[in-house]
Amino acid sequence: MLNKNIKYQIFLFFFFILTSLFSQNINLKVVGSTEQGFSVDTYNGNQLLVHNSEEFSIKVANLDLSETTEIAAWKGAEWTGDEHQIKLSKETYLSDFDLSLSITVTYEVINQNVVKKRLIYFNQGFQPYILPWKKFQNQQKNL
C-alpha cells in the first residue's frame, strides 16, 4: 500500500512540475471606451486568447415569475485595476422592477493557467433584517 502511495505522490510531483513548465503568461487588458462600455480581453503574452464583446447577459424575474426583464450585452461604465486584476462596474436600472442594481465584474489572475471571473449584483434599496444577537441567542436556548 505504501508503494502505491509513493508512486502517486511522485506522479503528482512531476505532473505539477510539467504543468508549470508549460504554463502561460496570462494577463488581462481592458478594451472599449466610456461611450461603448468596457470589457476585458485575456492574453497569453501578446497573443489574444479570449475576446469578450460583452461581459454577460442575464434574464431576471421576480419570485412568482409574473415579471421578467433582461440585461443584454452588459459592459462596464468604469474600470480599475492592472494586468492581473480588473474590476468593471456600472449602475444598471431595471425599469420593469423600478430597481437599480450596482453590478461589478471582477477578473483575477489566480495563476498562469487560471483566470477567475466573479459577478456581484447589489440592490442598494434592499435592507435585510438582521436578527439581534440577544434574541437569536435566546431562541437557540429554547430549542
The model's pLDDT over 39-85, given as tens digits with 9 standing for 90+, comes to 999 999 899 999 988 898 888 888 888 888 888 999 999 999 998 99
Phi-psi region at 96: left, alpha or beta (left = phi > 0; alpha = psi -120 to 50): alpha
What pTM value is reported for the model? 0.69
Rounded to an integer, what distance in angstroms lies between the CA atom of residue 50 and that of residue 48?
A: 6
Distances 103 to 65, 91, 100 between C-alpha atoms, Å: 22, 6, 9
Cα of first residue to Cα of last residue in the chain, in angstroms, is 48
Residue type for 2, please?
L
For the stretch 80-126, pLDDT in tens is: 999 899 999 999 998 888 888 899 999 999 988 889 999 988 886 65
CA atoms within 13 A on the CB side of 81: 23
